Amino acid sequence: MFASSLDTLLMTADQTLRTLFAPARSSRWPELPPDEPSLTAGEKRHAASLMRVNHAGEIAAQGLYRGQAALSRDPAVREFLERSADQEADHLAWCEARLHELGSRPSRLNVFWYLGSFGLGAAAALLGDAISLGFVQETEEQVEGHLAGHLDRLPAADQRSRRIVEVMKSEESGHADAARAHGAATLPPPIPRLMRAAARVMTGTAYWL
């Protein structure tokens, strides 16, 4: 029991350090159109700010899923959470690569986004796997709506960013559906409202910082 807990602790610490301080890596990439050299300086800044928000969201997703997986009671649920976190890590790599292409940087508050989300994920897991999965479903549904908004706001000529966001949006919807299939509980109404308020703070801050 102690050895198992220690292994989980060491693995979680390694995942945290890799997420926050190592270059993001992915074994798969969406098929992207050629970069668009006609973007104005203002369009590039705006696109980069939106992709920085998406990158920060993927940092938060890593924290949430890793916190939930660390304390999940059901091995099948834990496997689902870890598999979803791996897919979110791909999204993180895509956003990071696009930020570099746009000549920009990730949020300076990524440590805060990760640790806050990890704490939320761990707290959700302590309430049971059904509630934890309910957080996954609600989070992913909100993220899907957020990404749809970004598709409206990205410069029309920035087809590379748009394609990344489209693939991410589709896969986030799949995570919500899978959480529901695994037995996600419906969260009490105040919780989704609080989650939306917290997301607005994060997205508004990460756009600039």
Average pLDDT score over the chain: 91
How far are the Cα atoms of 1, 2, 11, 63, 180 from residue 6, in angstroms, in the given order?
9, 6, 8, 19, 31
- Which residue has tokens 């693995």? 11
- The SS3 call for residue 28 is coil
* Burial group, residue 190, by CB count within 10 angstroms (0-12, 13-18, 19+): exposed
pLDDT above 90: percentage of residues in the chain: 80
- pLDDT of 4 reads 60
Domains of the chain plus CATH, in order, are: 39-206 (1.20.1260.10)
Q: pLDDT per residue over 139-184, tens digit each?
A: 999 999 999 999 999 999 999 999 999 999 999 999 999 999 999 9
Q: pLDDT per residue over 75-87, tens digit each?
A: 999 999 999 999 9
Question: Computed over its alpha carbons, how large is the radius of gyration of the chain?
Answer: 17
Find the distance separating the first CA and the last CA of the chain, reported in whole Å.
Answer: 42
User: Model-level pTM?
Assistant: 0.92
* Burial group, residue 187, by CB count within 10 angstroms (0-12, 13-18, 19+): middle
pLDDT above 70: percentage of residues in the chain: 97
